[in-house]
């Protein structure tokens, strides 16, 4: 494979993975600085070790291919001496949420890989991030701070849908909606869980952001997450299912940011992209007619939010440009690429 150059998709995906891992490593450096819980700290240090190894794999690949190493994030993007912003339970929640995002991304990226060595990189990344997800999940469950999706009776026979009203249910406000099935419950619950964590995250970030425009944007993000929580909780309650608690760890009273505005905006943008993808999947796999409509509206609002976030990143010079194709028009006009 040494003589086969990276394809555009392989280069772009590795570039994106480098950005993500650079961010994670700097966030973990802050999280482990003043952790008060030995078990949480052990999990975080384990993740740091894994991600340090993995980012080195990408750097080696780039050097072998003659690719410039991205700037991504540096020590300037964290204040190692700042007071802690979140407690240990939220640190675990945050890494768990990132793991869920990256499990999906690495699955997508492996399916876009043609060189065997690149495919194997994502194979290893996927295994590692699944391990991280499981460690954080089990640690949170052990602590008793992670709610599980609601239970339903186990089916003792197979049934088939008998009426087309099954899929149109929820569209007529004058008719009673059918209860959610387990596929729909899972999709609704995951959206709810992600937005509970996201709201807490953006509330904390807004508390310490230095740039007034960034602060206002993060406050807007927290309100958007709150609206999604209300919608998704209502869907569960309509089917007599208990929505999870909105508590996912504490925010301290610190107003000194441990992270640069650039890091906080990048994380928020990453969560927004994940939210749009999750709502698209939720809309596509929901059988009840009102669910795709509700998730579609959320997706539009999330898209608008993400688009405005991108503008802030660009305006402040925080968005690194991915590798791109040659602009033949510029070359033909003697302008260079």
For the chain, domains (ranges, CATH) are: 8-143 (1.20.1260.10), 175-315 (1.20.1260.10)
pLDDT in tens, 281-305: 877 888 888 898 899 899 999 999 9
Query: What does the pLDDT read at residue 247?
Result: 64
Q: Is the dihedral of CA 224, 146, 101, 23 positive or negative?
A: positive
- pLDDT of amino acid 199: 95
Task: Please tell me the predicted confidence (pLDDT) of residue 246.
Answer: 61
The stretch 29-36 carries a mean pLDDT of 87
Tell whether the model's pLDDT for residue 168 goes beyond 90. Answer: no
pLDDT of residue 182: 95
Check whether 1 has a pLDDT greater than 60.
no
% the chain with pLDDT above 90:
77
Q: Is the pLDDT of residue 2 over 60?
A: no
- Distance separating alpha carbons of residues 150 and 189, to the nearest angstrom: 9
Find the largest Cα–Cα distance for the chain. 73
Binned at pLDDT 50, 70 and 90, residue 102 comes out as: very high
Integer angstrom CA distances of residue 39 from 32, 42, 88, 135: 11, 5, 10, 10
Structure-model confidence comparison of residues 25 and 329, the more confident one: 25
Contact 269, 313 (CB under 8 A): yes
Give the side-chain half-sphere CA count within 13 A for 33: 18
- pLDDT for residue 337 is more than 70: no
Taking alpha carbons only, the member of 35, 85, 69 closest to residue 206 is 85
Stronger pLDDT, 335 or 31, i.e. the higher one: 31
User: pLDDT tens-digit profile of 52-81?
Assistant: 999 999 999 999 999 999 999 999 999 999
Q: For residue range 235-268, what is the model confidence (pLDDT) as tens digits?
A: 999 999 988 776 667 899 999 999 999 999 999 9
Q: Which residue has the tokens 């701070």?
A: 145
Residue 266 · residue 70 · CB < 8 Å: no
Write out the H or E segment, with its range, that includes residue 147. Answer: none
């Amino acid at each position: 494979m040494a003589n086969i150059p990276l394809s555009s998709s392989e280069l772009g995906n590795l570039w994106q993975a480098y950005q993500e891992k650079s961010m994670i490593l700097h966030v973990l450096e802050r999280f482990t600085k003043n952790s008060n819980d030995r078990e949480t700290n052990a999990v975080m240090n384990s993740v740091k070790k894994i991600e340090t190894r993995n980012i080195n794999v990408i750097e080696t690949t780039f050097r072998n291919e003659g690719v410039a190493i991205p700037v991504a994030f540096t020590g300037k993007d964290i204040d190692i001496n700042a007071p802690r912003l979140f407690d240990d339970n939220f640190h675990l929640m945050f890494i768990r949420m990132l793991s869920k995002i990256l499990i999906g991304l690495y699955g997508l990226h492996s399916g876009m890989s043609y060189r065997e060595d690149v495919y194997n990189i994502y194979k290893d990344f996927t295994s590692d991030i699944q391990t991280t997800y499981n460690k954080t999940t089990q640690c949170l469950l052990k602590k008793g701070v992670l709610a599980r999706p609601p239970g339903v009776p186990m089916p003792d026979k197979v049934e088939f849908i008998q009426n087309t009203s099954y899929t149109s249910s929820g569209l007529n406000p004058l008719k009673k909606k059918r209860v959610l099935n387990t596929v729909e419950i899972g999709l609704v619950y995951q959206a709810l869980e992600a937005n509970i964590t996201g709201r807490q995250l953006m509330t904390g970030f807004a508390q310490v952001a230095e740039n007034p425009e960034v602060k206002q944007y993060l406050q807007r993000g927290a309100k958007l997450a709150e609206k999604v929580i209300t919608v998704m909780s209502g869907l569960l309650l309509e089917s007599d299912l208990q929505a999870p608690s909105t508590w996912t760890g504490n925010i301290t009273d610190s107003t000194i940011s441990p992270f640069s505005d650039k890091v906080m905006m990048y994380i928020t943008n990453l969560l927004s992209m994940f939210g749009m993808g999750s709502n698209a999947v939720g809309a596509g796999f929901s059988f009840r007619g009102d669910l795709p409509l509700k998730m579609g509206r959320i997706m539009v609002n999330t898209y608008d939010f993400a688009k405005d976030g991108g503008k802030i990143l660009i305006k402040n010079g925080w968005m690194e440009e991915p590798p791109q194709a040659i602009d033949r028009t510029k070359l033909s006009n003697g302008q260079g690429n």
